[in-house]
Structure 1
Amino acid sequence: MSDDDRLKREAAQRAVELVRSGMILGLGHGTTAHQALVRIAELLRAGTLRDIAGVPCSTQVEAEARKLGIPVTTLDEHPTLDLTIDGADEVDPNLNLIKGGGGALLREKVVAQASEREAIVVDEGKLSSALGTRSPLPVEVIPFGWKTHIPYLESRGAAVALRRAPAGEPFRTDQGNFILDCRFGPIRDPHGLARGLEARAGIVAHGLFLGLATDLFVAGPNGVRHLRRAT
C-alpha cells in the first residue's frame, strides 16, 4: 500500500468513528469512500456496530456493500439519513466541494441532501483556494440534445469535453445519462453558476456541492485533520 493510500485509509477510519449503532448511512462512491465501507464491515463483524443499514450512492457501491455484508436499504424506506461518508475531487476553505469524478454525482447529491451529516474524506492534494482550480466540474445531462448545452457552458467560460468510457463510447451514468467535464478554472461565483446550471432543462445534476459537507477529514503527512463547517 502506498503512503497516499495508507493516509486515505486512516482518514476514512477516522470518519467512521462518527458512526453509531442504529444509524442509517449514506455509502459514498469512490476509492476513499470504499475504505470507509471496509472499516464499517469490520466493525459489524466484530459486533462493535449493530443495526446499521446503508443507502448506496451507485450500483457499484451497492454490490460492494452486499459483498462486505453491510445491510442495504433505500431512501424510499429511510428518507432521512443520519450520516454519509464520501470523498470529493476538490474542497474549498468553506467546505464547498466539486464531486462527480467517478460519475455518481446525481445519486451522491440526492444522498447528501438527505443526510443530517455529510463527512468528506480527502487527501491534502484535494484542497483548493477556489473550486475549479484543480478539478473539472462534471455536469450530467440527458442524452437528448446534449450538445445544446455546450455553447451555454462555453459562454460561462468552460472548456467542455464529453466523458468517454474506456472503449471510446460516451460514458453512461447509472441513470443512462452523459457527463460533460467542464474546465472553468477558478470559479468566482459557484452559487451563481449552480443556479444557472439548474435552470437549464436537460441538465440533471452538476458537481458543485455547496453547503452540504459538515465534516472534512484531511489526510496528510502529519496525520489526519478533522474540520467542521462553520454554522
Structure 2
Amino acid sequence: MTTEDQKKAAALAAFDYVKPGMKVGLGTGSTTNHFIRELAVRAKSGLDVECVATSRATFKLASDLGLTMTTLEKHPYLDVTVDGADEFDGSFQLIKGGGGALLVEKIVASSSRYMVVIADQSKKVNTLGRFPLPVEVVPFGVNATAWKIERALKICNLKGKLVLRLKEGKPFVTDSGNAIIDVSIGAIPEPGRLDALLDVIPGVIENGLFVDICGIVLMGTDDGVKTFRKG
C-alpha cells in the first residue's frame, strides 16, 4: 500500500463511527479530505449528517461537494469529529497543526463525544516531538511570546528551535488571523505538562498538543487498518 492508500483505508474505516442524524466535525488535511469525499458520496445516497468544518479549506471542499454544513453556534455538541494527525503515540496524545488549523481543530474535537483520528502508519511514534510542535500566537509581540515559550521548554528540561512559519516569504496567517511558531524539539516525554505551561503564556492562543481529547485511532498499514481504542 502507498501512503495515500493507507490514508484512504483509514478514512473509509471511520464510517463505522458515523451514523444517520449525526453532527460530524470535519478535520483539515489530506487524510481527512479522503473522508470528506466519501462522506459526500454517502450523503448523496441518503446518509443524513450535518457537518462542522475546522478550516476555510475544509468548509469549501465539503460545501462544494454538497454536504450540509452547520456551526458550533447552532450545534455546540457534536457526535464525532474525524481528523488526521501529524503524530500520535501509544497514549492517544497527538501533535496537530501542520496545516495551520490547530485552534479550530481543538475546539471542534473537544466539543465532540468522540474524536476519531485517521492516519497512515508513518504518523505513529513512541514519543511525540519528531514533528515540530505548532504554537498559534497573536501577531503582537511575537518575539516576546517566543522567549516565554523557550522558558516553558526549559521548565520541562527541553530545548527547541523556534521558527516563525512563513508562506510565500511572509508570516503565515491562520484562519483566525494569528501567527504560528513551529517548535522543533525532538522528543516531548511529558506532553501534558508542556501543554499546560504553553497555554498559560500571554500571547499563546493554542498549541498543537492534543492531550486527553482523542479516544480512537484508525491507522492504515500494508496489512489493513489497525484500530486503537482508549480504555
- If the length of structure 2 is used for normalisation, what is the TM-score? 0.95
**Corresponding residue of 1:218:** 219
Distance, in Å, in 2 between the alignment partners of 1:210 and 1:201 is 20
1:164 aligns with 2:161: no
Q: Distance in 2 between matches of 1:152 and 1:185?
A: 19
8 Å contact kept, 2:145–2:202? no
Q: Give yes or no for the alignment of 1:57 onto 2:51.
A: no
* Deviation, structure 1 residue 168: 0.4
Query: Percent same amino acid at aligned positions?
Result: 39
Q: 1:229 and 2:230 equivalent? A: yes
Counterparts of 2:199 and 2:65, CA distance in 1: 36
Work out the CA distance in 1 between the residues paired with 2:205 and 2:6.
34
Report if aligned partners of 2:6, 2:121 keep a CA contact under 8 Å in 1: no
Cα deviation for residue 185 of structure 1 reads 1.4
- Structure 2 residues without counterparts, runs of 5 or longer: 154-158
Q: Is the 8 A contact 1:162 1:170 kept in 2?
A: yes
User: Match of 2:32, SS?
Assistant: helix
Aligned residue for 1:117, secondary structure, equals strand
Shift of 1:17: 2.4
- Using the alignment, how far apart are the partners of 2:202 and 2:146 within structure 1? 13
Q: TM-score, normalised by structure 1?
A: 0.95
TM-superposed deviation, 1:96: 0.5
Distance 1:75 1:65 in 2: 16
Deviation string for 1:57-79 (max 9, x for gaps)? 00111111111111000000000
How many angstroms does 1:125 deviate by?
Answer: 0.7
Q: Does 1:129 align with 2:126?
A: yes
Amino acid at match of 1:92: D
Deviations, residues 24-56 of structure 1 (Å, cap 9, x unaligned): 000110000011101111111112x12x10000
Q: Are 1:41 and 2:37 counterparts? A: no
Give, in whole Å, the separation in 2 of the partners of 1:3 and 1:93.
23
